[in-house]
Every structure is written in C-alpha cells, then in structure tokens.
Amino acid sequence: MTEERKTFERQIESAMNRYALTTGAVEFFFAVLDSPHAQVAVSNALFKTTNAPEWREFGRFVDHEGKQVMWWGPAPIAEIRPHKETIITDLVGKILIEMIGDVDFYLAQVLLRHYGHADYTGSSWSYFERISKISLIDEPNGAFVYKALQERHKVEHNRSIIDQRFLEALEKRGVSHAYQKGSRIERGHFDVVRSYEAFLEFVTAVDELVLNAGANRGANH
C-alpha cells in the first residue's frame, strides 16, 4: 500500500464519519421537533429544570461576556420542520463532492511522488493515464469514477442538485440515488455508502498497479 493510498483512506474515512455524525445530529434534532415530549425532556436536561414547556420557536444563541446573544432566529417550529430533506440532501451532495476530490487528490499525489510529474489542471485522470500507462477506465468502478470526476463541478452545493448525466452514472453503478421516487433521505444515505465503497475499490486496484509498476521499474535498473 502506498502512502498516498493511506492518506486517501484516512481522508475518505474522515468524510464518512463526519457525514454520519452530522446527519445523525440533524435527524435527531428534527425528531425532537416532531415530539413535544422530547422537546420537554431535552429542555429539562439542558436547563436542569422539571417544568420546561414544549417548543414554539427555535433560535441559536452564543454566550458572550456573560450574556446569551441570539445570532439566528427565532423561527417558528412549523417553519423549520419542512427543511429536513433539504438539509440532508445538501449534505449528501457536499460529501459526494468531497470524496470525488479525495480520489483526484490521490491520483495527483501518485503522479508526483511515483512518476515525478506534477498536475496543475485540477483534474488528474487523463494526465495520470498518459504518464503511468494505466488504463483507469478499465479498473473496478473506473467508468463510474470517471463520470463522477467529470461531473463534480455541476453539483450545486446549496440544494444538492446533481447533473442528470452524473445521476445516470450512479444508476449504472447500481446506486439508487436520492432524486428518484421514495425516501430522499434514505436513498441519500445509500448513495454515500455505495459511492464510498466504489471509490475505495477503485483506488485499491489502482494502487496495486502503481506498486507493481514501481517494482518492475526497479527490476529493470
């Protein structure tokens, strides 16, 4: 295993962990919004009381010089509830883009450290194939990764709207993306997990070829 693959795996694992924790926190928050009993229990626990009321509004505060200062809100609970799917699918789009970037960074670092070539294009795929003589498209999930790299700039982060061709690539990989019928949140989680697995499998296969190529070059000198 190359050092570049180790770095890639650390990065993508970190992305998955942050995605799981962040979406978990969001879903817990909205579960509390849907339950007056949970609202009372959370307030009692946070403020160490026994008679907290159910929530009618929600705002964000920060402690500043001994005082609580509201920096957002308050907004009525009824106005906040409909934003759950938007927030989750926004996180889906952002984490997919981050993982795609991790793959591109891996390719660029391998180019630099194993082949002595720096890529300044911001998209290392073609340059990597030309220098390494490795056909990336033929590796496990190669077509999916290629399409993901090509389409990543078309993800609109603010609403997680992904270009149709990227969605078609997801479907060919077997990913039932979050923009089909059904639960957008549930499908979004599967999108991330399956894409994570595809990227890992691709990099693992490429890394083995890089190591073998390096061993062959060494044997020829």
- With 60 as the cut, is the pLDDT of residue 72 above it? yes
Q: What is the mean pLDDT of residues 86-103?
A: 90
> What integer pLDDT is reported at residue 151 of this predicted model?
76
Q: What is the mean pLDDT of residues 163-167?
A: 56
Identify the weakest region by mean pLDDT among 86-100, 102-116, 199-213. Answer: 86-100
What number of H helices and E strands is found in the chain? Answer: 8, 2
- Choose between 164 and 16: higher pLDDT: 16
Query: Domain spans of the chain?
Result: 3-27+83-219, 31-81
pLDDT band at 168 (very low <50, low <70, confident <90, very high): low
* Residue found under tokens 């691709």: 202
> What integer pLDDT is reported at residue 159 of this predicted model?
42
Between CA 88 and CA 186 the distance in angstroms is 10
SS3 content of the chain, % helix, strand, coil (to 5): 70, 10, 20
User: Residue type at 38?
Assistant: A
Q: What is the mean pLDDT of residues 75-93?
A: 91
* Residue found under tokens 């000198």: 221
User: Residue type at 192?
Assistant: V
